[in-house]
Chain A
């Protein structure tokens, strides 16, 4: 195994582990190809820490005499410190961790080596098929069809093989439309609002360029989603100026003359490096141990993180309002249609569709609107907030989405089948995982990597009854209504569960969650006992008749 070359010192004794809010522990450190393992020597209360190398975002080392100290900052935002005696050992370990946490090749990642210790009840790779989604859709409308025009990923490399498009548009037209849209991302169905038959489409920007190119098939496609005499809305996630500038590079936006039935709204959502910087600043603020309140608030403000949350939620609410309140179809896009577009379409569905607020429904949403829709997870999540290296394509796009879901969850705490832990778990796995689900940047890459054959799906694990029970919201009661969150600053809060997770004593909050579970559990037990007794009595009384 080639990893062995990278591990010069596989094991060190008398290592001391420091973590916030935990007493320091002494133990043994081991390095394997994919894990850093620390186990305390105390037999009575043996403690083990397993850390995936891929979870390590950055590593710092320093020496006091021959005692080396390694500070490890993880993608899940935790920071641990290891005191390693012996300069050579420490240097070896640090350089091994550095090398193992920055492996270039995807196929060397842990998911390709991971062998599950559990029995697979349901293969997550085939849990959420678009065919099933389409079947559901067909039961309420026949205006759509399943197209396999992208079967070989030839029309659009970042789309899945199957997409849902208006029935009246044939594959030939789709090919033409793909040439008119950035990266071939022609408009496809994202969500169908059963209540009023309105549709949400998503795509990338049209390639109008400076001379106002048009594409009849594109116009026909989007118009096919409109009811006669009704208008639709294009929600462009760029400010107008940016959209206009894009024309110089061949991009652009739907011009009124060619799309007279569509009204365009520009709802600016921040992207790429701006988001990544915001993320880095926020995490830095959250790790500032100063006791100064002004400093904390000004750092929180300066990070702009909550501004991005507010912008994003507002855009999603707007899309949802257009559909539900205005009875209009909506087309959402930015430039590439792989980031802010997906944030908006998926959040709008959380607001509109009660199914997306169930565990399975939410998983399906992530598969459909993020994985299959070609959000480049591998690029975006390559590094987290501690990375020193120069950023390339990293951005916390998915994390922002998860946090917005959390914000809505906080405002409607009884309307979601899953709990906060579920969202946190998804955040962790998007950045580092034993499962192959979030590897690759799109379905085409996943197919080439043969992920379904070679790795385990996150869903195979999450959907096991034992695991599911950890992610269930004890106070869930299905709510079939559209839920409209407040986007006022007073209603939005910092997501402590992620950003202060390692920096606060969590015991009291965990105890509160336990208490909530117990209250519900006890109630259900009593209900069952009362029902059983009632039946028993009824039987006895019947016998007595």
Chain B
């Protein structure tokens, strides 16, 4: 609290990004955890809540006649433009936010103050929802080929690895330790995914410290052991997910990649995915395109191409496809690494697992997948997503890219995933929100030291509790798409990689389809379920009635008329199709801000803040009929020029000044 110089500013204007002419006036509050904007006037008192941990940048712009503009960009791609009347107030807000958005201690993060009012037992249950040893059992290990190793029990071998690591049975502690000394940050090869049906596996590690000629017997034995754990195949693929040039440059620093001559029976393969710095810049460029005011189609497509974003997404997907193919079709095990083996390796292993195993395409399985390939293997969440103030060069949208790969797959295989787009968006949100403890720190070791499980809540339990919101209505566990391996196409004209406006323009509701097929079908399915129940009740009543009739008994079965409830339901259903009702009555997609779900918020401003504090609802739509502002040239806006040519042309009408 000591960082808040200015807890409240009145008469602040919140601008609509798409149309500067639309603005609402309200009061701005700074709390220990949130920035809150409450609209003046109107009954609804619409509120916009932003968690400090979501703030990625704050920009104070030049003061104008109307006040001092403040631009807040968020990690969940929300952009908030405020105009504060007094320059001094703006400065205070700015200074406060700069500090609040960059906490220096974990204890300052929201998850340590967030209290969803669950008791201790519920909290513990929540953390048990995803259990990795259960997951390895499900995969079929330990077995004749794979065993659990306790070599890292005190994080003694590798401090960024979990304590429980699965390794080939023939890899002794001596081999593991030896191999670890030959690998960057001692991240030795360990099991990521095991394919029960053909014994092929996906293993992961960091790069070898091979330099120009160094060798390590134990490391060679380690790779040999991985091959032996798959008796059906006489070689393994070693996939280096870096561009070849980067890998070669590493050799000069005593690192590098495996020399095929030194390892028996490996096939070495580069699949070039760029490093975190390239990815950070790429996202930056794409977001600049998203922020353009009324861009032309060429501006947009050119900007999208120029950002390289989709190219990078495709590179990750292609690597995943290659590995899934090796495992499923060739039955060959794969060792994947990049440099440290915690970014690109995590992306590629999890994409491959998702393609291979339908379990990871279920809601629970997807949680397990993130826990397995990202959380447990030391993906550096804190550094990558800037939870604590740190080196900006460490920040990179690594898991965002994985999440996008999943979305691209969902678009191509609409029945293959149990969860919907909203599930992905909410996970992305919470990776940055720091509201739950799951993604804190850089490794399992740090999380244990912080006693995360005793002091914070698990996101997975929260999502699981609300799972009805996250279901894909088209998913059926017995559907062909939810069985077996997915085989996506490679060429862009066969697999259309699309710009994900649901994510990167998430808060610009006006850009999204006004009616959600997912929500509509979910409502229908819910009704269907009620019908099934009613059918059962009716059949029972009928049976009773027939029985009593035959017994000449005149006692009537109890009236249990559900039709009233039903009528209500259907009418709700029809509302779902009128765009203006859509955003207020039914959940629009995605429904509510995941940070303010149904639990009590740490801070209550008004009685109804939970319902109305949804930043998603501050949409730009005209409430009457869902009018879209036509590139800021709406005739109803008055005073603006309707045509591109009109500026130069005196013969042209100035559109409706009055």
Contact = CB atoms under 8 A, between A and B. Distances in A.
A540 B521 contact: no
A487 B651 contact: no
Nearest to A536: B542
Contact of B498 (A493, A529, A533): A493
A318 B521 contact: no
Interface string B468-502: 00000110100111000000011111111111010
Given A291-B490, A541-B545, A494 B517 contact: no
Contact of A489 (B296, B305, B521): B296
B625 A481 contact: yes
B630 A317 contact: yes
A491 B517 CA distance: 16
Interface stretch (B29-37, B80-88, B338-346, B575-583): B575-583
Interface in A473-504: 475, 477-479, 481-494, 496, 500, 503-504
Contacts of A505: 489, 494
Contact of A504 (B295, B474, B494, B549): B494
Contact of A523 (B490, B527, B577): B527
A439 B521 CA distance: 40
Given A289-B491, A318-B635, A484-B627, A265 B655 contact: yes
A491 B512 contact: yes
Contacts of B652: 240, 264-266
Contacts, number: 257
B311 to A, nearest CB: 4
B528 A522 contact: yes
A478 B546 CA distance: 41
Category for how many chain A residues contact B: 35 or more
A15 to B, nearest CB: 26
Contacts of B633: 318
A213 interface: no
Contacts of A479: 577-579
Interface residues of B, number: 99
B544 to A, nearest CB: 10
Given A491-B501, A512-B474, A541-B556, A286 B528 contact: no
Nearest to B570: A527
Given A307-B298, A490-B290, A541-B556, A297 B644 contact: no
Interface stretch (B119-127, B182-190, B407-415): B407-415
B579 A481 contact: yes
B557 to A, nearest CB: 9
B643 interface: yes
Interface string A511-528: 110011001101100110
A485 B628 CA distance: 6
A126 to B, nearest CB: 33
B51 interface: no
B520 interface: yes
Contact of B314 (A293, A301, A412, A534): A293
Interface stretch (B136-144, B377-385, B389-397, B531-539): B531-539
Nearest to A255: B651
B322 interface: no
Contact of B297 (A263, A307, A537): A307
A534 B538 contact: yes
A307 B295 CA distance: 11
A287 interface: yes
B635 A321 contact: yes
Contact of B295 (A414, A481, A489, A493): A489
Interface in B543-586: 545-546, 548-549, 554, 556, 563, 573-574, 576-580
A294 B305 contact: yes
A263 B480 CA distance: 59
Given A414-B517, A484-B626, A489-B300, A504 B642 contact: no
B566 to A, nearest CB: 9
A268 interface: yes
25 contacts: A241-B645, A264-B651, A264-B653, A268-B645, A294-B305, A294-B308, A301-B302, A307-B296, A318-B642, A321-B634, A325-B635, A413-B513, A487-B628, A487-B630, A489-B296, A490-B508, A500-B494, A504-B489, A508-B415, A515-B479, A530-B531, A534-B563, A541-B556, A543-B549, A544-B545
Chain A to chain B: the 9 pairs with minimum beta-carbon distance, closest first: A489-B300, A263-B653, A512-B414, A296-B492, A297-B305, A301-B301, A293-B311, A526-B531, A307-B297
Interface of B: 290, 294-302, 304-305, 308, 310-311, 314, 318, 412-416, 473-474, 476, 479-481, 489-499, 501, 505, 508, 510-515, 517, 520-521, 524-525, 527-528, 531-532, 534-535, 538-539, 541-542, 545-546, 548-549, 554, 556, 563, 573-574, 576-580, 622, 625-628, 630-631, 633-636, 642-646, 649, 651-653, 655-656
Interface of A: 233, 239-241, 256, 263-268, 285-294, 296-298, 300-301, 304, 306-307, 309-310, 314, 317-318, 321-322, 325-326, 410-415, 475, 477-479, 481-494, 496, 500, 503-505, 508-509, 511-512, 515-516, 519-520, 522-523, 526-527, 529-530, 533-534, 536-537, 540-541, 543-544
